[in-house]
A and B are shown apart, each in its own frame.
Chain A
């Protein structure tokens, strides 16, 4: 049972344009959502998060949008840069104490010069 889904395994975007990565979830108990970025042979690094009491959180070029009624979140990167090429994971957690994150399968983002 895949509670967090990233339906696009890959995405290719031109440098300078907007990258939009999508994520859907099924568990209505999730109340905290995160995006991680992963380069090859490295562990994921935390990028940005959003609590369920908000619908938008912005940090520099990165903005996460949350649509609770649709159980959907998205990550916008604008403008996209070559260094943004990586695998992006969305993750969610609910009221479970320790950080028991449920991760999506990841989307490989490639920024073309």
Chain B
């Protein structure tokens, strides 16, 4: 069965520090991969998605970047965190072959920028 791992679960970082969140998927090949963010009191916002190694699409202009160095690895990064980067970050995957396959989410990372 497929599993998705996301770490760390919680993170407290000072403003201006770098960020690296990692997500890996097991049990599937060629997944579509996604990074979502949930800000306080708001819905989930798509930040990045990837349909293959090295292929990243950004949905909103922001202080963050994403990379996909391997088929089942997706990384969310920032060189200098802002206070507004605080939120709940979720990695997700979906099958590549079925347009309407649902997203499967990891357990998320709670990021607090102080």
- Tell me if B90 and A44 are in contact (CB < 8 A): yes
- Tell me if A105 and B42 are in contact (CB < 8 A): yes
CB of B61 closer than 8 Å to a CB of A: no
Number of A-B contacts defined by CB within 8 Å? 64
Which of A55-63, A77-85, A94-102 is the interface stretch? A94-102
Residue of A nearest to B57 (CB): A98
CB of A30 closer than 8 Å to a CB of B: no
- Tell me if A41 and B9 are in contact (CB < 8 A): yes
The count of chain B contact residues (Cβ–Cβ below 8 Å) is 29
- Tell me if A99 and B34 are in contact (CB < 8 A): yes
Query: Which residues of A (7-50) have their CB < 8 Å from a CB of B?
Result: 32, 34, 36, 41-46, 49
Bound-state CA distance A45–B9 (Å) is 17
- Tell me if A4 and B43 are in contact (CB < 8 A): yes
- Report if A49-B100 is in contact (Cβ < 8 Å); known contacts: A43-B108, A98-B49, A101-B46: yes
**What 0/1 pattern do residues 25 to 62 of B give for CB contact below 8 A with A?**
00000001010100001111110010100000101000
Nearest 7 pairs between A and B by C-beta?
A43-B105, A103-B43, A103-B44, A46-B102, A105-B43, A99-B94, A98-B32
Binding site for B on A (CB under 8 A): 4, 6, 32, 34, 36, 41-46, 49, 51, 89, 91, 93, 97-106
Binding site for A on B (CB under 8 A): 6, 9, 32, 34, 36, 41-46, 49, 51, 57, 59, 90, 92, 94, 99-108, 110
